[in-house]
Structure 1
Amino acid sequence: MADYKKAYTLRIDETLLDKIRVVAEKNKRSINAQIEYLIQQCVEEFEAKHGEIKIDEEKTE
């Protein structure tokens, strides 16, 4: 996995963002860190069911 974080613009429903903000505050995280955490959980759950996702490093650059 890359050692850097790549910026990505996310369009999200305002109400959902407000709810994520509340969850992030309860978990003492920034909204960005909370979203990243949730995405990581989703990927881990997917990989647990379907196996590791292989990424072609040449295509991600």
Structure 2
Amino acid sequence: MKRLLQFFRDSYAELRKVVWPSREEVGSSTKVVIISTIIFAALLGLFDFIFTVGRDIIF
């Protein structure tokens, strides 16, 4: 039981050391991830379309 309590004390102490991002930083990072995901999905869709058309022409 002592080890479990010590674990929670240590975990709490470590969480107090964390530098949490501000609301603005989180919003900015979220925008970057969403835009990057959309661009990557569009590129993959374009490549898929090109390869599908190419395959249909060959076969």
Give the TM-score normalised by structure 2: 0.39
Higher helix proportion (structure 1 or 2): 2
Which of structures 1 and 2 has the bigger CA Rg? 2
Greater relative contact order, per chain length (Cα 8 Å cut-off, separation 6+): 1
Give the TM-score normalised by structure 1: 0.37
